[in-house]
Structure 1
Amino acid sequence: MRFSTLMKHPAEWMTGASDDSSIVLTSRIRLARNISDVPFPGWARKPERIEIMTRLRPAVESLTEMRNAFSQQLSELTSVQKQVLVERHLISREQAARNEGSAAVVNRDQTLSVMINEEDHLRLQSIRSGLHLREAYKLITKIDQQLEKSLPYAFDHELGYLTACPTNVGTGLRASAMLHLPGLVISDHIGQVIQAVAKLGLAVRGIFGEGTESLGHLFQISNQSTLGETEDEIINRLERVICKVRDHERNARIKLAEDDPQMLADKIGRAYGLLRHAYVIDSKEALTHLSLIRLGGDMGCFPKEVISLCDTLLMDIEPAHLQHISDKKLTPEQRDIIRAEIIRDRLQNIPTPDIGTLDNQSKQEND
């Protein structure tokens, strides 16, 4: 599959395909694996990395789940193409910075990707819409077991799977979910929730993971350690916490509609008006307002299909996506103009928000 083909179709997890994705947008499972008889990528010389990639890439491409997949060496992609893959969460920012001896393999619906020679020899990743960590883990386990039959994994009977970073030693599993939490942010309770989650040994990060800020009221929650717990224990603990955060977000939305429906209506209405008529808008502002439109869709102010429209836009207005669509390098000012144009075009058939639904929710809570 060519890069252009990959770009033509949004992944199912990008379109709000799951019925329960209004708050939990996506679930992701990632496994770190290394080969026992060769140096880890960070220690390998360039010829060794190329040799390792040449050995691993056919094994990944031969998987049934990777039939007709997109498979490319990072050195053969432009900087914009690599950044597009980062924006789609198919490769990491760290891998995008690598060139010779690194590759990515992505299945057709973009729910499964394998990074070769990132920090570890293999990073296996599955993404699902909504809170479906178990489904993502089931797929990753299947391909992991297939690869282990033909590849000598670096494994210690006491420590578990050996990885480049000590925090991944053990299961090598990172489980995470992306949550949309505007209710907690607007009600100023997000700080308390983040602190509570951190005390449970979980990490809360921004939209693109470690070291990134939260944009569009989006937060990633993931496990921090992989040693001393089984895969089931890690996933069970994360699911419990995510369900609690999801409940807090629902309650925060209800409370906002009950206590100050006019304030909430004003935020949603202003976001709608600005996005429908803005001619210049930067990425941060656009994501914030799209978050409020998405909130309005979940609270009945807009038709339900607005949620999937916003999810697709969240990706399509990212800087690299805009440059790929334009097929040329753009200045930040040019991106801001094109971003506004795309949003105006996509939202032109969306009706004005039905603010009465917020008053109705408030009355229902008081009755």
Structure 2
Amino acid sequence: MPQPFPEIKSSHSLVAKHVTKEKWDKLSDIVTKTSGFTLAKAIACAVEFDNQHCGIYAGDEDSYIDFADVFDPLICEYHGLKPDFKHVSDMDSSKLQGNVNPEVPVHSVRIRVGRSIQGYGLSPGITKEQRVGVEELFKNACKKFSGDLSGQYFALTGMDEKVRQQLVDDHFLFMSGDPNLKVAGMERDWPEGRGIFHNEAKTFLVWVNEEDQLRIISMQKGGDVKGVFERLARGIQAVGESVKAESGKDFILSEKFGYVHSCPTNLGTGMRASVHVDLPGWTKEGVDLLKKRCEELKVQPRGTRGESGGQTGHTYDISNKHRLGYSEVELVQTMIDGVNTLYKEDVELQKKHGM
């Protein structure tokens, strides 16, 4: 017997559109092989909250296959892609044309990707044993990093308070308590099996078992986007090769969806390339107009406190808008070009407003 059809509180979400009663009756009894995930667990956020845009997470790679009737059309709609698309990955930093111009007031650059390892569940569905297994695997793998990538792993369980406070002050440490991650099942058994790695210079980081099994991050002060991307490419390669040497396992890479993530909005590159940049002219002109202009340039503006942290002053976090259907090089290029354009226009707007 199919489960009773749930009441979806986020009535304007993509889940509400794509999880019809007919699809629910067909799929609701399926339990995935890797981590015992169900469609009910996948759509928990859309059922619990009324503010979701997407509202669905995958519990393992099988979720995208077993619940394809829901995931496939939802992914195409979110990413604006045709059903026959295929994702192409390209991390070759030498293909980037130019960089953020030296006069642009960029505070810092941060580029991150997510990666998942074959045979383990994704964070919403991962079993306790699998989560600890991912951490053990990474703990051993990261000892093989060399040169400017070498550093230290800090497990969240039993972390020294001084170390914890330092990581918080550096804005490196991820916290528990995000209501979406909780309802989606990503904070089960907190903080076990989770931790953070960083290199000596604190410019290369890996988060273990937060929203994705691995979040690989390259960051530094100033505006050298190309340099940050080049380090990220080396870092991803080092993580991949070390994990493979340790376990014989590769990252999960789907021919269609690229790199597989728990959140379908991150499929493909799983990459967010961003800078913190001052745009006082655009602030004066109006944030809504800035958002509209960013849409045209295929970038996204946020406040510097993250997705839901709001805007303070005239510093913005500008990042690539797309993840899937474009290569990493294309997305970083779009972000560089977008930031250069926004700043050029900002100078004109400052004149216009007599600043």
Bucket of the pairwise TM-score, normalised by the shorter protein: 0.5 to 0.7
User: AA paired with 1:32?
Assistant: G
Q: Give how far 1:21 is off.
A: 7.5
Within-5 A mapping of 1:1-367: 20=102, 23-65=105-147, 69-77=151-159, 82=164, 85-86=167-168, 88-93=170-175, 98-149=190-241, 150=244, 151-185=249-283, 187-255=284-352, 259=354
> Matched residue of 1:153: which SS?
coil
Task: Give 1:155 shift.
Answer: 0.8
Deviates more, 1:85-94 or 1:237-246: 85-94
Partners of 2:152 and 2:313 lie apart in 1 by: 29
Q: Give the Cα–Cα distance (whole angstroms) in 1 for the partners of residues 275 and 149 of structure 2.
A: 27
Q: Go from structure 1 to structure 2 and tell me whether the alpha carbon gap of 1:32 and 1:65 turns closer, same or farther (over 3 Å shift).
A: farther
Answer whether contact 1:95 1:118 (CA < 8 A) is retained: no
Amino acid at match of 1:74: L
| CA–CA separation in structure 2 for the residues paired with 1:244 and 1:176 | 15
What secondary structure is seen at the aligned counterpart in 2 of 1:42? coil
Between Structure 1 and Structure 2, which shows a larger proportion of helix residues?
1
Deviations 1:250-302 (A, max 9, x none): 3344555xx36xxxxxxxxxxxxxxxxxxxxxxxxxxxxxxxxxxxxxxxxxx
In terms of mean alpha carbon deviation, does 87-96 or 25-34 score higher? 87-96
Distance 1:141 1:94, change over 3 A: farther
Q: Within 2, Cα distance between the matches of 1:76 and 1:60? A: 19
What letter corresponds to residue 152 of structure 1 in structure 2?
A: D
**Gap runs ≥5 in structure 1:** 1-17, 261-367
**Cα distance change, pair 181–200 in 1 and its aligned pair in 2 (3 A):** closer
Is the Cα–Cα contact under 8 Å of residues 19 and 130 in structure 1 kept in the other structure? no
Gaps of 5+ in 2: 1-99, 179-186
Name the TM-score, length of structure 1 as normaliser: 0.59
Aligned residue identity for 2:348: N
Question: Normalising to structure 2: TM-score of the pair?
Answer: 0.60
**Contact persistence 2:101–2:340 (CA under 8 A):** no
Aligned length: 240
Residues 26, 173 of structure 1: CA spacing in aligned structure 2 closer, same or farther, 3 A cutoff?
same
C-alpha distance 88-22 of structure 1, shift in aligned 2 (>3 A): farther
Structure 1 residues 205 and 84: CA distance shift in structure 2, 3 A: farther
Deviation at 1:65, TM superposition (A): 4.3
Amino acid in the other structure paired with 1:106: H
User: Cα distance 1:53–1:205, how it changes in 2: closer, same or farther (>3 A)?
Assistant: same
**Distance change (3 Å), C-alpha of 1:21 and 1:77:** farther
1:29-87 deviation line (CA, Å, top 9, x unaligned): 11110001111122123332122101112212321146662421112337886565355
Equivalent residue letter for 2:292:
Q
Aligned letter for 1:166? Answer: P
CA contact (8 A) 2:268 2:325 kept: yes
Most deviating of 28-37 and 52-61: 52-61
- Report the CA distance shift for 1:181/1:39 in structure 2 as closer, same or farther (over 3 A): same
Tell me the amino acid that sits aligned with residue 141 of structure 2. Answer: A
What secondary structure sits across from 1:54 in the alignment?
A: helix
SS of 1:76's equivalent in the other structure is coil
Read off the aligned partner of 1:75 and give its amino acid letter.
Answer: T
Displacement of 1:208 after TM fit?
Answer: 2.7
In the aligned structure 2, how far is the partner of 1:57 from the partner of 1:203?
34
